[in-house]
């Protein structure tokens, strides 16, 4: 896929369209409930600064927390949000975040402090900034997973670290577009720093043994727990067919 094709597909996705429409709604609310220029700027800046930290907390301690699968009501959400994404990192249908999880998160992370800074207008501005930050995050996330070689050095490094998170060791490099929290909390790494590949990089610790105790994700997955990438599974199947034919 070329960058041009990605841009076209990106803006056709319903979640991105929803974010942009809601940004326009927030802009109208901010216009109808004006705050000062300084307060509006501070509210927007807060949203942009807090976003990578909010994502880090959710990514590390919620999505990789190894507890959501324990509960029947939370298991479907965890499967959709993150388990399926790690099972097949290049699967486009689960590459974008689900609106029922992203929108509440954006509002909770931005609107309350925005309101304290600039009232209703400040809350709307902060929320709009959070929505646009999410659009940027999703676009970079696409570049990280699709067959696109970034020319910009910062984007290439971003992709390299995120691919290590998906294909080498999931316990680190939790940032997507910003790895400052990883540096602060000691979870930033290069593949050379961790010689051994994580055995749970594709199943996030939801193994067959875990599924016997907490079976809900396994049932939603057709009873199949995978420990390898689909390409590896396809190659293994092809090798097995070759051996049987011989």
Residue 173 · residue 198 · CB < 8 Å: no
Alpha-helical segments (H) within 82-98? 84-87
DSSP state of 88: S
∠ Cα 97 106 76 (to 5°): 40
Average pLDDT of span 41-46: 96
Residue 244: pLDDT over 50: no
Closest among 15, 45, 181 to 110, alpha carbons compared: 45
Q: How many CA atoms lie within 13 A of 176 on its CB side?
A: 26
Q: Cβ neighbours of residue 246 under 8 Å, at least 6 residues apart? A: none
What is the predicted pLDDT for the residue at 11?
Answer: 92
What is the predicted pLDDT for the residue at 224?
Answer: 58
Residue whose structure tokens are 């990106």: 10
What is the predicted pLDDT for the residue at 32?
Answer: 97
What is the predicted pLDDT for the residue at 1?
Answer: 67
pLDDT in tens, 65-90: 999 999 999 999 999 889 999 988 87
**What is the b/e burial string over 189-206, where b = at least 16 CB atoms within 10 angstroms of the residue's CB?**
beeeeeeeebebbbbbeb
What is the predicted pLDDT for the residue at 69?
Answer: 94
Token output for 139: 């676009």
Mean per-residue pLDDT over the chain, rounded: 88
Q: Which of 83-87, 126-130, 228-232 has the lowest mean pLDDT?
A: 228-232
Residue 2: pLDDT over 90: no
Token output for 111: 């609107």
Alpha-helical segments (H) within 67-179? 75-78, 84-87, 99-145, 153-167
Query: What gap in Å lies between CA 143 and CA 207, rounded to an integer?
Result: 29
Residue 226: pLDDT over 70: no
Handedness of CA 190, 193, 197, 199 (dihedral sign): negative
Would you place residue 230 in the very low, low, confident or very high pLDDT band (cuts 50, 70, 90)? low
Closest among 97, 16, 229 to 6, alpha carbons compared: 16
Query: What gap in Å lies between CA 101 and CA 98, rounded to an integer?
Result: 6
pLDDT in tens, 155-190: 999 999 999 999 999 999 999 889 999 999 999 999
Q: What is the dihedral of CA 148, 153, 159, 163, to 10 degrees?
A: 110
């Amino acid at each position: 896929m070329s960058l041009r094709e990605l841009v076209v597909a990106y803006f056709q996705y319903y979640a991105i369209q929803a974010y942009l429409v809601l940004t326009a709604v927030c802009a109208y609310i901010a216009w109808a409930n004006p705050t000062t220029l300084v307060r509006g700027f501070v509210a927007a800046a807060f949203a942009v600064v807090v976003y990578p930290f909010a994502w880090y907390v959710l990514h590390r301690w919620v999505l990789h927390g190894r507890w959501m699968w324990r509960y029947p009501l939370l298991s479907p959400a965890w499967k959709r949000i993150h388990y399926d994404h790690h099972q097949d990192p290049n699967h486009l249908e689960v590459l974008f975040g689900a609106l029922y999880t992203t929108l509440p998160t954006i509002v909770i992370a931005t609107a309350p402090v925005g309101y304290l800074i600039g009232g209703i207008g400040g809350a709307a501005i902060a929320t709009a900034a959070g929505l646009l930050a999410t659009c940027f995050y999703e676009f970079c996330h696409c570049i990280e997973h699709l067959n696109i070689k970034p020319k910009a050095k910062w984007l290439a490094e971003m992709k390299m670290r995120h691919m290590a998170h998906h294909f080498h060791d999931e316990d680190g490099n939790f940032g997507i577009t910003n790895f400052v929290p990883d540096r602060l909390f000691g979870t930033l790494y290069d593949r050379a720093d961790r010689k051994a590949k994580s055995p749970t990089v594709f199943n996030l610790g939801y193994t067959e043994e875990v599924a016997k105790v907490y079976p809900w994700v396994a049932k939603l997955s057709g009873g199949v727990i995978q420990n390898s990438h689909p390409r590896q599974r396809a190659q293994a199947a092809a090798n097995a067919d070759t051996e049987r034919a011989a």
